[in-house]
Amino acid sequence: MNNPKAPPAAAIEAALKIRFGTHFGIPADQPGLDALATMAGHRSIRRFQPDPVAPKLLRLLFACALSAPTKSDLQQADIIHVADADKRRRLVAHLPEMPWILDAPVFLVFCGNNRRIRHIGEWRGKPFANEHLDHFMNAAVDAGIVMMHFISAAEAAGLGTCPISAIRNAADTVSRELALPPGVFPVAGLCVGHPAAAGHISPRLPLEVTVHTDRYDESRLREAVDAYDRRRHDNHPYAKQRRVRQFGEAAFYGWSEDKARQYAEPERADFGHYIRRQGFSLK
């Protein structure tokens, strides 16, 4: 999804300038530049061509995704390919504001799974002694890593993707439609297809905020967030403000205002109940 004509070092430099607002000085002889250019140029895609993704390619992407590292080799992530169009419609009926979910040629749901290891313990006659929050987290992290590996593989193959955590807004529906048994839970959906538009590179907080050396440091956080708000606004301003009736029209509407407004309301506050009902005590 980068400019195919630009040499990879120049493509990375251009992408990271938008992303972080700074130059990195990429040496032209740095190994792995093509892969790095794909990663640096990442963008979520929400407009897709109608062309299907070839089943053979999809299978290859599943295999690449599930080649990801996995905690203790426990392999606690599954991918559900929602191939039935009616099922997909029912799954996301609560998300009319995200039409890209129905437009995408492929829709997947990445799940955490601690059911298999429980089965294996039973078959081997061993107690299951890990009924705690960390155990839930391991499966959730594994599923996230597998999804990210899928995204990287898909982007390397020229496809576009968009993760969808909003499927968890209706987790019971997801469970019912996908027949998820106890111990299996959705982490996120993923739209996949051939991009119909290039999308845009979304700027990130500067590395000074998110990369730390030897100790956590937020001493310049406020100034950095203010500067990031301005840089992001110059690059790609928000098309509309969130919750104007509640918070009014802001004269300057940056990322931090948007995120503060977003999290001023509970989001998926019932997800813990759902996860407990799926058999996790989260102790």
Ligand X SMILES: Cc1cc2nc3c(=O)[nH]c(=O)nc-3n(C[C@H](O)[C@H](O)[C@H](O)COP(=O)(O)O)c2cc1C
Residue 1 within binding range of ligand X, rule CB under 6 A: no
Residue 145 within binding range of ligand X, rule CB under 6 A: no
Cβ–Cβ < 8 Å for 48, 100: yes
**Maximum pairwise Cα distance, the chain:** 64
Site string for ligand X, 171-210 (x = CB under 6 A): -----------------x-------------x--------
Q: Which of 79, 102, 157, 166 binds ligand X (CB under 6 A)?
A: 166
Cβ–Cβ < 8 Å for 161, 155: yes
Q: Looking at 3-11, 29-37, 42-50, 270-278, which segment touches ligand X (CB under 6 A)?
A: 42-50
Cβ–Cβ < 8 Å for 7, 15: no
Residue 165 within binding range of ligand X, rule CB under 6 A: yes
Residue 160 within binding range of ligand X, rule CB under 6 A: no
Rg (CA), the chain: 21
Q: Looking at 40-48, 68-76, 177-185, 251-259, which segment touches ligand X (CB under 6 A)?
A: 40-48
Task: Give the separation between CA 104 and CA 237, rounded to whole angstroms.
Answer: 26
Beta carbon of residue 255, minimum distance to ligand X (angstroms, whole number): 10
CB atoms within 10 A of CB 255: 19
Pick between residue 33 and residue 164 the one whose CB is nearest to ligand X.
164
Residue 256 within binding range of ligand X, rule CB under 6 A: no
Task: Give the separation between CA 278 and CA 274, rounded to whole angstroms.
Answer: 6
Pick between residue 174 and residue 188 the one whose CB is nearest to ligand X.
188
Beta carbon of residue 120, minimum distance to ligand X (angstroms, whole number): 28
Beta carbon of residue 215, minimum distance to ligand X (angstroms, whole number): 27
Q: Looking at 20-28, 33-41, 161-169, 221-229, which segment touches ligand X (CB under 6 A)?
A: 161-169
Task: Give the separation between CA 217 and CA 211, rounded to whole angstroms.
Answer: 9
Q: What is the DSSP string of 242-277?
A: S-HHHH---SS--HHHHHHHHTTS--STTHHHHHHH
Q: Which of 8, 41, 112, 163 binds ligand X (CB under 6 A)?
A: 163
b/e code 136-146 from CB counts within 10 Å (16+ = b): bebbbbbbbbb
Residue 141 within binding range of ligand X, rule CB under 6 A: no
Beta carbon of residue 31, minimum distance to ligand X (angstroms, whole number): 25
Residue 262 within binding range of ligand X, rule CB under 6 A: no
Beta carbon of residue 187, minimum distance to ligand X (angstroms, whole number): 7
Residue with tokens 């120049």: 10
The CA–CA distances, whole Å, from 80 to 43, 104, 109 equal 23, 15, 5
Pick between residue 90 and residue 118 the one whose CB is nearest to ligand X.
90
Reference 70, options 143, 131, 133; nearest CA is 143
Residues 93-112 touching ligand X, rule: CB under 6 A, are 98
| Residues near ligand X, by CB under 6 A | 42-44, 98, 162-166, 188, 202
